[in-house]
Chain A
Amino acid sequence: MEANIHFPDPSKVREELIQRYPAKVAKKRAKSIIVNDPQLIPEVQANVRTVPGIITQRGCSYAGCKGVVLGPTRDIVNIVHGPIGCSFYAWLTRRNQTRTESLMDANYIPYCFSTDMQEENVVFGGEKKLKVAIQEAYDLFHPKSIAIFSTCPVGLIGDDVHAASKEMREKFGDCNVFGFSCEGYRGVSQSAGHHIANNGVFKHMVGRDNTPSVGKYKLNLLGEYNIGGDAFEIERIFEKCGITLVASFSGNSTVSQIENAHTADLNVILCHRSINYMGDMMETKYGIPWMKVNFVGAESTAKSLRKIAEYFGDEELKAKVEEVIAEETPRVKAVIDEILPRTTGKTAMLFVGGSRAHHYQDLFAELGMTTVAAGYEFAHRDDYEGRHVLPSIKIDADSKNIEELKVLPDPELFNPRKTEAELDALKEKGLEINGYEGMMKQMTKKSLVVDDLSHYESEKLIEIYKPDIFCAGIKEKYVVQKMGIPLKQLHSYDYGGPYTGFEGAVNFYKDIDRMVNNPVWKLIKAPWEKAGNGAGLAASYVTQ
């Protein structure tokens, strides 16, 4: 599809983006700035180190591990082993909402736990203090689980968080203590932390409770973190359709859900980047296939529900899903019909995360808006180009030091939910079983794809394209808005949401309409500035 929007000459744009860089940096950045062609899908350099000194959007592996994947599970006490800051900044700032059934249920999300390492711990080792901290957390709260997260200094001084966790786990007997070596310097971004988190959750949590889950259509929701209540909306829709959610990884989840996850019959994956490892590992060990879905966008939600019904192959479910879609659609349509004339033809740029820069393009498409440029903050080539490129991705030094778990079929619990032939038949029907086609296939020809966008590049892009809206995170928010362009935060949703499902689509339409058509953007210039100030004003006064 070629957009009817006029694109500036993309190769010239590319030149402009890199022209200020020192030669070596320019050469490197050029490989991450690609003109899209959905038919050919060119290679994008991704998941490589950020050049020192570049103002990047990226964070660290600890943020990906503790902040993203483990943070949303409410009944784990997450102790950050390190100096105070790392734990402080990750405290409640991600907006992963959670809802307990009663006031008696455990919820540690509003708490921040740290070993607050001091100089003597750095010099003489911090393991002792860590064990004291674990003991104190156990005595105070008696949680089901305690997870330990290593920050940068911990790895260097050689504290063994795994040994300490094991020792305490054995000592307590009724509290599962486990650790993560997610020091911020591992890998090149949050992405390394996702992988480390997947490994730890798979090793220490999944499969601990074999009680068969009840329900006809049982699935796990992977890569959904309940930002702004996204998971609540998906849960609502599932319930309406009669689909049983066994576990969520990890929005609005609990330890016992995750421990029982392997009794589901399907894993649906939203954020491929952060959780695909879990899908693969559960498939190998338990025989549960995974399928890529997207609940961002009303049409995408309907499509994903149909895919799930198709997977279970049950006429009753298919009928129910159609009924739910038919019931939900009119109110969505009423809103978009009203808004569409005001948003059609506008342009958007999305530079965020590892899946949202893709998923939210669906919502913009529903708004009649074109994505002129997009890119991820910490994704890999497969998220751009599709999983078929996996075998050709080079493993570099930074990826090598992140453990790949060796997973084998479980001698007792392995039970392929579908035969190879059945899976092939489903794939024929267009279900992304164990697969993901990536972002670029969906983007228009000549749109721009930029990985790990730098601050400098973002300002240039805005100057050149003048998009109607820019999507990124908090660090970019006010920079872009100072340029007179609204920025939609797609990590925190600007404290709004949910944006998933049908309700979410309605919320998003309204928010974007409000943002791109807000009168404030026309108030920036003072009347005297518009009138040419000074002389002009005086003159008109005199003549009147």
Chain B
Amino acid sequence: MLLRHTSKEVKEREGLTINPAKTCQPIGAMYAALGIHGCLPHSHGSQGCCSYHRSTLTRHYKEPVMAATSSFTEGASVFGGQANLLAAIETIFSVYEPDIIAVHSTCLSETIGDDLQQITRKAKDDGKVPEGKHVIFASTPSFIGSHVTGYANMVAGIAAQFPVSTGLKKNQYNIIAGWMEPSDMREVKRLSKELGVKIVLFPDTSDVLDAPQTGKHVFYPKGGTTIAELQSAGDSLASLALGPISAEPAAIALEKGCKVPFETLDIPIGLSATDRFIMALSKVASVQVPDEITAERGRLVDVMADMEQYLYGKRVALFGDPDQLFPLTEFLLDLNMKPVHIVSGTPGQRFEKQMRQLLDERSPETNFRNGLQADMFLLHQWMKNEPVDLLIGNTYGKYMARDEDVPFIRFGFPILDRIGHSYFPSVGYGGGLRLVEKILNALMDRQDRDALEEKFELVM
């Protein structure tokens, strides 16, 4: 037993988090900044945070993840980090030549009270930012929220600092990506193209964190939203924010700055959320949904119908991030499965409400908790009390899955031990199909493994 000290009896905790179902803000900010073309993320704090964030993103993507750090030492911690950041900006522009430096704070610089707005302005005033180059920032203290908050803050920072409203509207729409994989962002672009809607997608990590092997390391890979695209986002007709927690703050910033109206949607994971996305996009842009998309949808529904007997009533435990968990839970319900336990370390009443509403309507007996102490230890205890047929979550779930001998599907962040998430989307109808395939494989492999010899089936 790997988690042999996890007892069945649930006791409320107030101080100790065990096996967290979240991590800290800056890693989200770093990920978001990588979705801007020519951008180097910069971690304003001690070296350790930056090193950890880069390592974790690298393990998740098996791709280069470049980011710089202010390398605080004790002196900087006492006297403030301004000198470090100014020096860093100078060094970065001369050595690594990015178009943009996206600075995020860390717990340390937040605790000291460094003002990123003031320091980055000073860098410009002091001539440390070359002509045509940019330094943007987002405040990302980890003692608030989670990695999802950090992502949202950086995307909002991008939305507040680049788009300009020229007064001339462009026939295009912004799609603000919530925390999604590069594959998902690519799929959102494909779907929009199918619909014939011109979009500006940001951030966009496709062609950045799934870069091809060419024999050359391209420091700033071909992908990422460009500065020109970002600037033009201020003239778009409307924005769709995919993810109430991870994307909406950017839509709000854009509305505030450039008066671009917005609508917030869920990340299009599963059938219903994808339906809402396609409907919203076709409505806002007044376009007809092409037959090809209807057919894609049909293929998903077809599989759901054909394989329903293997899905019905299967009990699922899941953990992860709000903007994924909500549509995923909804999808499981559409599949006639039973979400039994759900945790997310990311706090927030909005998510809690959204989830409660869904569950009250369709699965009132589900255990659900988010925020402090809503961790994998609690989830594991719940699983010991009310066993499940399937576990869905990031790589850390494999320890619980092994101990409880439960089939396990990797979904979310981080996935440190498998590939695929960056290449094959889980959004859209195709993504839904991929999820169903994964779920069926996990459940049916288990059925095959456990079947008595006389009950072993050839055709299923």
A residues near B, CB below 8 A?
20-22, 25, 49-63, 79, 82-93, 103, 106-108, 110-119, 121-122, 129-137, 139-141, 151-153, 155-157, 183-189, 397-398, 401, 455-456, 459, 473-475, 477-484, 524-525
Contact = CB atoms under 8 A, between A and B. Distances in A.
A151 B24 contact: no
Contacts of A107: 4-5
A131 to B, nearest CB: 7
29 contacts: A21-B94, A50-B71, A53-B88, A54-B68, A55-B67, A56-B71, A83-B143, A84-B20, A84-B142, A86-B49, A86-B52, A89-B52, A93-B59, A103-B1, A110-B2, A113-B16, A114-B16, A116-B20, A119-B143, A129-B15, A140-B16, A141-B5, A152-B107, A153-B107, A184-B46, A189-B47, A475-B54, A478-B58, A482-B213
A122 B111 contact: yes
B242 to A, nearest CB: 25
A132 B16 contact: yes
Interface string B70-97: 1111111100000011011111101110
A459 B20 contact: no
Contacts of A54: 68, 71, 91, 95
Interface stretch (B6-14, B196-204, B261-269): B6-14
A350 B215 CA distance: 21
Given A84-B142, A157-B111, A185-B74, A152 B46 contact: yes
A59 B24 contact: no
B3 A111 contact: yes
A57 B110 CA distance: 24
Contacts of A79: 16
Contact of A156 (B49, B85, B90, B108): B108
Contact of B74 (A140, A186, A473): A186
B257 interface: no
B45 interface: yes
A60 B88 CA distance: 18
Nearest to A190: B48
A384 to B, nearest CB: 21
A93 B108 CA distance: 23
A47 B326 CA distance: 48
A87 B58 contact: no
A116 B27 CA distance: 16
B310 interface: no
Given A482-B214, A483-B215, A103 B94 contact: no
Nearest to B345: A84
Interface residues of B, number: 87
Nearest to B2: A110
B76 A118 contact: no
Contacts of B68: 53-55
B250 to A, nearest CB: 22
B388 interface: no
Interface string B346-387: 000000000000000000000000001000010000000000
Nearest to B144: A119
Contacts of B76: 185
A152 B111 contact: yes
Interface in B375-428: 377, 396, 399, 416
Contact of A110 (B3, B16, B65, B85): B3
A349 to B, nearest CB: 15
B88 A482 contact: no
B35 interface: no
B38 interface: no
Interface string B39-68: 000100111110111111011001111111
Contact of A456 (B3, B77, B96): B96
Contacts of A61: 48
Contact of A84 (B22, B92, B396): B22
B107 A151 contact: yes
A537 B112 CA distance: 63
Nearest to B106: A152
B26 interface: yes
Contacts of B19: 91, 111-112
B94 A478 contact: no
Contacts of A484: 213, 215-216
Given A84-B142, A121-B143, A185-B73, A482 B51 contact: no
A85 B91 contact: no
A141 B377 CA distance: 13
A35 B141 CA distance: 43
Given A20-B95, A136-B15, A479-B217, A156 B77 contact: yes
Nearest to A142: B5
Nearest to A137: B16
Q: Which 7 A-B pairs have the closest CB atoms?
A: A60-B48, A85-B24, A132-B15, A53-B88, A53-B91, A133-B15, A89-B52
A477 B58 contact: yes
B23 interface: yes
Contact of B396 (A91, A115, A153): A91
A53 B92 contact: yes
A106 B5 contact: yes
B69 interface: yes
Contacts of A151: 107
B18 interface: yes
Given A63-B48, A85-B23, 19 more contacts: A21-B94, A53-B68, A53-B91, A56-B71, A59-B51, A84-B23, A85-B26, A85-B49, A89-B23, A93-B55, A115-B17, A136-B11, A152-B72, A153-B111, A185-B72, A455-B66, A474-B58, A475-B55, A483-B215
